[in-house]
Amino acid sequence: MTPQIPRALARAEDDCLTTMALLEIRGLTAAVGDKQILNGVDLTVNLGEVHAVMGPNGSGKSTLAQVLAGNPAYNVTGGSVVYDGRELLELEPEERAQAGIFLAFQYPVEIPGVSNAYFLRAAYNEMRKARGEAEVDPLEFADVMEEKLRLVDMDTSMLSRSVNTGFSGGEKKRNEILQMAVLTPRLAILDETDSGLDIDALRTVSNGVNALRRPDNATIVVTHYQRLLNYIVPDFVHVLAGGRIMKSGGKDLAIELENRGYDWITPHASRPAAGAAR
Amino acid sequence: MTPGSAVEPFVAPFESLAGDPSAPAPIQSLRRAAFDRFSELGFPTTKNEDWHYTSVAPIVEHEYTALLDRTGDVRRGDLAQFGHGARDWHTAVFVNGRFAPELSDLNALPSGARVSDLVTAWTAAPQLVRRIGALANTDHSFTALNTAMMTDGAVVQIDDDADVRRPIHLLFVTDAVAAKGMMHPRNLVVVGRNARATVIESYVSLTDALYFTNAVTEVSLADGATLRHYKVQREGARAFHVGTIQAAQARDSHYLSFSFATGGALTRTNVYTTLDGEGAGPTLNGLYMLDGEQHCDHQTEIVHAQPNCFSRELYKGILDDRSHGVFNGKVYVHPIAQKTDGKQTNKTLLLSGTAHVDAKPQLEIFADDVKCTHGATVGQIDETALFYMKSRGVNRDMARRLLTYAFAADVLETLEVDELKVSLEQMTMDRFTNPSDSRTVER
């Protein structure tokens, strides 16, 4: 079976003068402390597309997500990321968010003492300010929230609870999608959003994500398992191993990975590819 | 400076008070004995274990006028800012240490509750005189000095079985007249059997002048009594404040204390309670927030003198700039105090690299069947949470402020008076929020 030629790659090559990619990652390398984790990632994402980044544990999937969001714990050592025509790596995390990048965390952070409502409205207003729009007051915001809560099947009572504090695993993930719904990103990065979810929660979360898909935004789904991709159907699937993308294909690649595992693609996944800096 | 020499400036003010005809003879002899004790003790030095982290030299290097007469020019309108938005509290106002009946609202007190000034109380109710000094320990210099110099304060009496729903607010305010002055407020709170009440003790200021407040409050809870006793210390920026609360708890009584402290240049609050009956317990909570060069010291002491008692303690400090916080939490468990259940937590958030805290839990346990835990943490803003908030578009400053507020939120949440809770939450929020940021705390 020959995987079809990914449309995005084909288009990037054919129409590079006319189509501007939303995200263009070139030769990205990154480290945590002394440990090099990304070893030259190349990835192009266009508007309207959903890309799945899969790979075995320790392949650098979450690192890629965190680096794109600007986590200062990760040290970018080389390469470039152009987002919407801007050098992404030069922006602070909050500037990236204001420019439309959203990371749904694998492990959402608990913030005792800050209510969800307050936090969401603060974030929402920061986005509006960045776009030169007027801030909304709590009453106006309540109207915004009503619709968004329905999307992820959450009750208004969760708004008065502290951010993620004491939330179950499923509630935390739904809360991430709620934030995403409120902030309406142009590029959403979902980091292992399926981990720890039962089938009902998985369906709810996926429905939320799908409802937010539009021709003028794009999504990167980072996941270990194919299961999530039954619900959030990707246009492209990439296999990340040893800190670089080893293979790209269509959604069938995910099914093949589910059946065959990762070994056939990445026999030496735990080692950097030949010639890579150690 | 030797302790003895520091006492000298207080001799003349004391002598001017000694001839005070308004005080009954037992009070006069109490004062005299206390001054003798103070003269022996002098001021504590940092060699004194209880004052190891707090030097009182800045207090002692000034001389103070005793503010014996009524002074000050404070109007009702000046006090609105200190009322926490409450409309129906019973309020006793003291200006520069002296009772100001025209600013007070005590007419709506229910039967079963009486609030008066100290002079009226010791004149009208001689049986109360015996209670003054019954609990406070004049082996502590500042308590001895207060006892020697006491001229005014509040006496709160709650009868057996009374349930006083609205808080009683003792509001001590200073104005510019207090400059270079000293005040020694002396309060007495007596809560009868199975009675419930709330007393809020505020020390606030309308002046940035330097002055010295040295307060003592004695609190007694009879069997089954519940007292919420909340202290709000927002003294002026250059003020010195030493405040000692000494409580005694009988069987099954519950004493809920909160110390909120943001004011003063150098302040010390002591909260001491003795559990004299089975089933009694205190909850001692506090929040202090400092900046600039402020120094704020809290010492708590819980004496478990009987079996089957509990104690709960949560103190938090938020320290910025070059401020210095001190927390010393003592718990004594007597040999007979079996089944004691004690828990102490002390957390400090440092907002700058130059702020520092000295935290000293001090458990002395002489019974063998007890459960006593303590924990102290000192930390900075959580970088993971900071990144999480920034990743949602919230800028660094606002994220820091929200996280700082969040650190304080759980201890403020323990306040059981809604107006006070909302007011102190707002005060805390505003402290860490830009005027341009949102001002509403949603819950």
pLDDT recorded at residue A267: 52
Domain count, chain B: 2
What predicted TM-score, i.e. pTM, was given to this entire model? Answer: 0.84
pLDDT of A4 strictly over 70: no
Q: Is the dihedral angle over the CA atoms A119, A123, A124, A126 positive or is it negative? A: positive
Q: B303 in a domain, yes or no?
A: no
Extract the tokens encoding A154: 């959450």
What domains, with CATH codes, occur in chain A?
A: 7-107+186-260 (3.40.50.300)
pLDDT of A9 strictly over 90: no
Cα distances from A61 to residues A30, A102, A169, A191, B419, in angstroms, run 12, 16, 20, 8, 50
Domain that holds residue B256: 3-276
Q: To 10 degrees, the CA torsion angle through A72, A78, A83, A85?
A: 130
Reduce the DSSP state of residue A70 to 3 states and report it.
coil
CA atoms within 13 A on the CB side of A16: 8
Summarised one tens digit per residue, pLDDT across range A97-144 is 999 999 999 999 999 888 899 999 999 999 999 889 999 998 999 988
pLDDT recorded at residue B180: 97
0.95 surpassed by complex ipTM: no
> Within this chain, do residues B248 and B391 fall inside the same structural domain, yes or no?
no
pLDDT recorded at residue A261: 84
Summarised one tens digit per residue, pLDDT across range B199-221 is 999 999 999 999 999 999 999 99
- Helix (H), strand (E) at residue B120: helix B118-124
CA B33 to chain centre: 25
Model confidence at A18, pLDDT cuts 50, 70, 90, reads very low
Look at B395 and A94 and tell me if their CB atoms are within 8 Å: yes
End-to-end Cα separation, chain B, in angstroms: 52
Given B227, B243, B276, the domain boundary residue is B276
Nearest to A126 among B395, B405, B443 (CB): B395
Q: B41 in a domain, yes or no?
A: yes
Extract the tokens encoding B87: 């409309």
> Among A6-15, A77-86, B268-277, which is the least confidently predicted range?
A6-15
Extract the tokens encoding A194: 């399926």
pLDDT of A15 strictly over 80: no
The conformation of residue B336, written as its DSSP 8-state character, comes to T
pLDDT of B308 strictly over 70: yes
> B407: which chain A residues are within 8 Å (Cβ-Cβ)?
113
Reduce the DSSP state of residue B34 to 3 states and report it.
helix
Q: How many CB pairs under 8 A join A and B?
A: 99
Give the residue carrying structure tokens 């969760």.
A158
pLDDT recorded at residue A273: 45
Query: Average pLDDT in the A55-79 region?
Result: 95
Model confidence at A275, pLDDT cuts 50, 70, 90, reads very low
Give the residue carrying structure tokens 């800190």.
A243
**Residue B196 bridge partners (DSSP):** B163, B226
Query: Average pLDDT in the B115-120 region?
Result: 95
Q: B374 in a domain, yes or no?
A: no
> Within this chain, do residues B94 and B237 fall inside the same structural domain, yes or no?
yes
> A105: which chain B residues are within 8 Å (Cβ-Cβ)?
388, 391
pLDDT of A12 strictly over 60: no
B387 interface with A at CB cutoff 8 Å: yes
Closest CA to B17 of B152, B178, B153: B152
Given B212, B247, B276, the domain boundary residue is B276
Model confidence at B442, pLDDT cuts 50, 70, 90, reads very low
Q: B119 in a domain, yes or no?
A: yes
A134 interface with B at CB cutoff 8 Å: no
Percent of chain B at pLDDT exceeding 70:
97
Model confidence at B129, pLDDT cuts 50, 70, 90, reads confident
Backbone angles phi, psi at A44, to 5 degrees: -125, 130
pLDDT recorded at residue A92: 96
Closest CA to A76 of A26, A123, A139, A120: A26
Q: What is the mean pLDDT of chain B?
A: 94
Q: B242 in a domain, yes or no?
A: yes
> Within this chain, do residues B399 and B267 fall inside the same structural domain, yes or no?
no
Extract the tokens encoding A81: 């990321």
Given B259, B276, B293, the domain boundary residue is B276
Instruction: Check if the beta carbon of residue B278 is closer than 8 Å to that of residue B306.
Output: yes
Closest CA to B404 of A112, A116, A122: A112
